[in-house]
Structure 1
């Protein structure tokens, strides 16, 4: 397979070109996201944030209604969908051509979002582990599927950060999941190593150090480190002070082959991509 063969995603019949890395802007319609600056609950907040994401150069808006921070409150599928409806109605009305991703681990929620609101991508933190109908659902819907590596659930994941061999375990996990998805007929699969999910500080940096090795899968790679604890715990700061560290790690990830950056701060990620692309022209 040529390395350029997997650099596209089919989003509602259009091709999202990943030969240049793309930015996914985070739109949280939750009251308890770990980064207070990303919590959007009123219609005015959601409207303003969506416009900002697109104005600053993101090609995908990733909307989520279930907080996946450590020890987050578990909410019902009904509550998750009710929150998503508010955001998706605003997005459909104001930005009908925008590429929308929904951050959910629930197959029913994924299906409703795709069928009722034309959502183009499903982003699942559990890679089907928290809903055994997710793989069949995304394969049937024919939408690109981002699957993340995590052990346990958001409520238990930090107690499960144990590995015999981190890289081998993560690679074997993805190899098994990709095969299952392919057997079901799923086409566009994106891998997310799951920075900050069931990983210690050392695990996160080990993953980043070996990120280029994920190219063995010949699948697009999403990296989401935006304002996470791997930055602010290392530096002794807070999520509010973690933008510079985020940009540093995003730049490293781009140099190591990341295709999509999932971020709170879109403009800075877009700038990092431009700079890294310019550097790569000279190699």
Structure 2
């Protein structure tokens, strides 16, 4: 990969007055506050669990902790706004107090949850729906002036697997992001991270085609987040289940880094940190 690939890409984020540097790829650790997330080892059932997991994630090299209380796996149970808030807010308050160095991301598609989480101490919002499941989300992000992870998805977590099929998946995502980015910029949102949404409204083959075309997103000159961690696109192809998908995750993380990904969203921080270190080592020569 040419060393000038990233020269024009935005590499900083304003996290409530603190500057996050993405000139080197960063790790986002997954902290699930749901009882039914697809990978059971990622679930934090108590506040003590959340504290211990976050401490481990940070010690292993994570910069971002992505806190979610609504499972987006196909067929997951519906969670009310109040229940989502009841799960998230106490943990955000706890983690922001105990780990002030951590950048807390909130995995939600609801504007109310975004607003209350930021008030409780979170720094950025990770929206799987790209504003498509709450029309107030874009304006809320603009009002809050926090970074926004804009993900590609069709439909909802309950319907997305019936909404696959693309003429050219790379071009479709470019069109999708172009419109969303324009709308966000018009509202005054300054920090946007793009997430292609691996596993969301995409077949296994479409996921791999998208990974192959990941470099197409370079034209936006924005940070790109890749999230493959232990997903079915790995184990449906190789066999096994989420428990056996770490090696496949590392391979896909490596490919994504070589194609320009600036953030890896993962369950296994240590393995991903080693992946980044080795890829960066190749770029230093």
> Do these two structures clear the TM 0.5 threshold for a shared fold by scoring above it?
yes
Select between 84-93 and 10-19 the one with higher mean Cα deviation. 84-93
1:50 maps to what in 2?
54
Q: Is the contact between residue 57 and residue 267 of structure 1 (CA under 8 Å) also seen in structure 2?
A: yes
| Partner secondary structure for residue 216 of structure 1 | helix
1:101 maps to what in 2?
105
1:79 maps to what in 2?
83
2:189 maps to what in 1?
186
2:3 maps to what in 1?
none
1:223 maps to what in 2?
226
Aligned length: 280
Give the drift of 1:93.
Answer: 2.6
Residue 247 in structure 1 maps to residue 250 in structure 2 = yes
Deviation digits for residues 115-170 of structure 1 (CA, Å, limit 9, x no counterpart): 2x221110000000000010010011100000100000000100111223211111
1:139 maps to what in 2?
142
2:118 maps to what in 1?
114
Equivalent residue in structure 2 for 1:201, among 184, 204, 228: 204
1:88 maps to what in 2?
92
Give the drift of 1:5.
Answer: 5.4
Equivalent residue in structure 1 for 2:42, among 38, 49, 69: 38
| Partner secondary structure for residue 229 of structure 2 | coil
| Partner secondary structure for residue 48 of structure 2 | helix
Aligned-residue CA RMSD (Å): 1.1
Equivalent residue in structure 2 for 1:64, among 59, 63, 68: 68
Equivalent residue in structure 2 for 1:263, among 260, 266, 274: 266
Q: Is the contact between residue 101 and residue 119 of structure 1 (CA under 8 Å) also seen in structure 2?
A: yes
* CA distance, structure 2, for counterparts of residue 5 and residue 171 of structure 1: 16
Residue 233 in structure 1 maps to residue 236 in structure 2 = yes
| Partner secondary structure for residue 51 of structure 1 | helix
Residue 28 in structure 1 maps to residue 32 in structure 2 = yes
Deviation digits for residues 202-240 of structure 1 (CA, Å, limit 9, x no counterpart): 000001111111101111000000000010100011100
| Partner secondary structure for residue 40 of structure 1 | coil
Give the drift of 1:4.
Answer: 4.5
Equivalent residue in structure 1 for 2:278, among 272, 275, 281: 275
1:124 maps to what in 2?
127
Equivalent residue in structure 1 for 2:179, among 165, 173, 176: 176
* CA distance, structure 2, for counterparts of residue 92 and residue 65 of structure 1: 17
Q: Is the contact between residue 170 and residue 216 of structure 2 (CA under 8 Å) also seen in structure 1?
A: no
Deviation digits for residues 161-208 of structure 1 (CA, Å, limit 9, x no counterpart): 122321111110000000000000000000000000000000000011
Q: Is the contact between residue 25 and residue 61 of structure 1 (CA under 8 Å) also seen in structure 2?
A: yes
Unaligned runs of 5+ in 2: 1-5
Q: Runs (4+) of structure 1 moved beyond 6 Å?
A: none
